[in-house]
């Protein structure tokens, strides 16, 4: 199956179970405390909270939701390019019950879809359930339901972090049950590899059973209605189906990047750069061969162009504050990886054409906003290109003159302030050299600059700096809105 067919078969399956197929919500969330939409349930929060009526009869929906996890509570940016299954931008397939069906149907349908419709070998699947702790009881109901499909050794209890889902400190919440797939050549990874953050056994689907409301005092009360909220990693499902030739061969590389979700972007990149992707995975960024560095660059750039294209199409524009600065950081990171592939002129914006071509059918907003995406990317890229080479020379000079293993905060600040190097880009470059950076020193200088900007602003002299929330942009609570009154003009290098 192509990825488009896999997505469609998910919709068809849930449509056959009386679900209304709905459109993905925007990447720009309604909730002010979120940087980006990061889960399928975001657009349905008002229904779960009882603030909006469920518009579907029966109360069932399914969709693919555009998600970004590159800041705030869910931040997978550091893994991107170094593993095979975490992206900044990804699609989360989901099915929902709003006070309609509950655990039994959710579990049985997930099982039916993956094993009967798609053909996942049952003997490679693990299911987890909430194992209980001093706050809440174990979800033995889910355990029993899974035992109808799986042997006891593959029904595994999990802890609060992995198997009890909360939207925040308060609000709808409940235990969750997840499906994990053994991807080792012989299918013998063992239950210990579940939730071990390993490519040998990856999580594909999370089924959340919303049955409690978390109160302010920390207690849990049963909700008047019980809901189901599921999320499946679309690219992960594609990788398992496609890279194993429909589950017939688990001996090769199983990677999201080796699916038709990414190959068109890789092909365009190979053609433009004259370099080839060979798909090795380096264990340590500081010990890469030249080809491994090229492979990482392919993965990072392909990931980042999807993130930027989809965001800009949804009206989130790179800037100096809040979520816009997260995007600018991601773009600058991609441009710098472009140097690894030999690009010295703008190249990144051209890949947007491939993204629009590949995903414009499922997401027409990409087609509609194609021109804006390309134009915005090109301008951003040109502007960063003007200081990137000089900044990289400065970085090399700093390395040459540093005797310790830590790069001085003042140097990191100089790269940020004069050459437009986001903190995390410098950190990444340092990591590649086996070095660390002096975060406290950098933060002190940033704070001093923010203070100065505030003072200047207050005295209406000149406005220099936006508080970007930048290198540690934490989405909860999101600080950006407090600072939007500050004009933003610095750093447009
Ligand atoms: P993981 O443990 O692999 O980081 P998660 O537990 O953080 O995943 P959930 O919040 O449960 O993920 O999201 C539901 C599903 O979305 C996951 O089961 C996974 O298949 C997919 N997913 C989560 N994060 C990413 C990502 N960064 N890139 C691609 N798919 C993802
Ligand atoms: Mg995660
Ligand atoms: Mg997980
Ligand atoms: Mg999970």
- Summarised one tens digit per residue, pLDDT across range 3-31 is 999 999 999 999 999 999 999 999 999 87
Q: Is the CB of 407 under 6 A from ligand 1?
A: no
Q: pLDDT, tens digit, for every residue of 137-149?
A: 999 999 999 999 9
Quote the CA–CA distance of 235 and 350 in Å, as a whole number. Answer: 23
The predicted complex's ipTM stands at 0.99
From the CA of 90, the nearest ligand is 1
**How many CA atoms, within 13 angstroms, populate the side-chain half-sphere of residue 3?**
26
CA nearest 210: which of 237, 243, 182, 172?
A: 172
Other CB atoms within 10 Å distance of the CB of residue 17: 16
Q: Which two tokens stand for residue 258?
A: 């080796």
Predicted pLDDT of residue 482: 28
How far apart are alpha carbons 89 and 295 in whole angstroms?
Answer: 19
Give the confidence band of 479 by pLDDT, cuts at 50, 70, 90.
very low
Residues 124-136: pLDDT tens digits? 999 999 999 988 8
Q: Say if ligand 1 is within 6 A of residue 236 CB.
A: yes
204 lines ligand 1 (CB under 6 A): yes
The CA angle 431-71-363, to the nearest 5 degrees, is 115
- The residue contributing the CA closest to ligand 1 atom 19 is 233
Band of pLDDT at residue 462, cut at 50, 70 and 90: very low
Comparing CA positions, the residue from 298, 255, 254 lying closest to residue 273 is 298
Residue 458 has pLDDT above 80, yes or no: no
The residue extents of the domains of the chain are 3-243, 262-438
3-243 has which CATH code? Answer: 3.30.930.10
| Ligand 1 closest atom vs CA 202 | 3
pLDDT greater than 50 at residue 98: yes
Using CA positions, which residue lies closest to atom 13 of ligand 1?
231
Mutate to test the pocket of ligand 1, among 87, 174, 231 (most ligand atoms within 8 A of CB): 231
83 lines ligand 1 (CB under 6 A): no
Judge whether residue 481 has pLDDT over 80.
no
- Find the mean pLDDT for residues 333-356: 97
Backbone angles phi, psi at 202, to 5 degrees: -110, 150
Among 342, 258, 257, 254, smallest CA distance to 305 is for 257
Query: What tens digit of pLDDT does each residue of 216-239 get?
Result: 888 888 888 999 999 999 999 999
Token readout for 84 is 């095979």
Cβ pair 168, 195 in contact under 8 A: no
Residue range 68-88: mean pLDDT, rounded: 91
DSSP class of 275: -
Of 474 and 75, the one with more pLDDT: 75
Contact 211, 157 (CB under 8 A): no
Protein residues within 5 Å, CB atom, of ion ligand 4: 206
Neighbours of ion ligand 3 (CB under 5 A): 203
Average pLDDT, the chain: 90
Which residue minimizes the CA distance to atom 14 of ligand 1? 231
Which whole number is the average pLDDT over 343-349?
96
- 382 CB-near residues (< 8 Å, 6+ apart): 346
The pLDDT of residue 460: 57
Residue 318: is its pLDDT beyond 70? yes
């Amino acid at each position: 199956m192509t990825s488009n067919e896999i997505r469609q078969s998910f919709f068809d399956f849930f449509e056959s179970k009386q679900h209304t197929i709905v459109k993905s919500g925007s990447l720009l969330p309604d909730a002010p405390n979120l940087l980006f939409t990061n889960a399928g349930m975001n657009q349905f929060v008002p229904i779960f909270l009882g603030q909006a009526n469920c518009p579907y009869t029966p109360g069932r929906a399914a969709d693919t939701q555009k998600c970004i996890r590159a800041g705030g509570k869910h931040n997978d940016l550091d893994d991107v390019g170094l593993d095979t299954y975490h992206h900044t931008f990804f699609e989360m397939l989901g099915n929902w019950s709003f006070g309609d069906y509950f655990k039994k149907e959710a579990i049985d349908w997930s099982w039916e879809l993956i094993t009967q419709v798609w053909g996942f070998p049952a003997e490679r699947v693990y299911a987890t359930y909430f194992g209980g702790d001093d706050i809440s009881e174990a979800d033995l109901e889910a355990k029993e339901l899974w035992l109808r499909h799986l042997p006891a050794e593959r029904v595994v209890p999990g802890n609060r972090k992995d198997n009890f889902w909360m939207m925040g400190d308060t609000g709808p919440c409940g235990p969750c049950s997840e499906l994990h797939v053994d991807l080792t050549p012989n299918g013998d990874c063992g239950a210990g590899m579940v939730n071990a953050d390993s490519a040998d056994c990856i999580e594909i689907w999370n089924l959340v059973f919303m049955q409690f409301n978390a109160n302010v005092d920390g207690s849990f009360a049963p909700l008047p209605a019980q809901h189901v909220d599921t999320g499946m990693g679309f690219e992960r499902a594609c990788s398992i189906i496609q890279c194993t030739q429909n589950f017939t061969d688990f001996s090769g590389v199983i990677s999201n990047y080796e699916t038709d979700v990414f190959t068109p972007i890789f092909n365009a990149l190979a053609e433009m750069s004259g370099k080839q992707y060979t798909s090795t995975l380096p264990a340590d960024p500081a010990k890469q061969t030249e080809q491994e560095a090229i492979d990482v660059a392919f993965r990072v750039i392909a990931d980042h162009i999807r993130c930027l294209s989809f965001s800009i199409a949804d009206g989130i524009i790179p800037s100096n504050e809040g979520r816009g600065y997260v995007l600018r950081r991601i773009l600058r990171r991609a441009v710098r990886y472009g140097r690894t592939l030999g690009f010295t002129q703008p190249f990144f914006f051209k890949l947007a054409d491939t993204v629009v071509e590949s995903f414009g059918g499922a997401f027409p907003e990409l087609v509609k906003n194609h021109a804006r995406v390309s134009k915005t990317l090109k301008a951003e890229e040109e502007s960063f290109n003007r200081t990137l080479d000089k900044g990289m020379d400065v970085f090399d000079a700093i390395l040459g003159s540093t005797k310790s293993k830590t790069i001085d905060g003042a140097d990191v600040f100089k790269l940020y302030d004069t050459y437009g190097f986001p903190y995390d880009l410098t950190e990444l470059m340092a990591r590649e050299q086996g070095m660390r950076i002096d975060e406290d020193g950098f933060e002190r200088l940033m704070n001093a600059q923010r203070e100065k900007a505030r003072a200047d602003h207050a005295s209406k002299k000149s406005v220099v700096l936006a508080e970007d929330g930048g290198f540690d942009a934490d989405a909860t609570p999101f600080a950006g809105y407090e600072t939007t009154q500050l004009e933003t003009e610095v750093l447009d290098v």
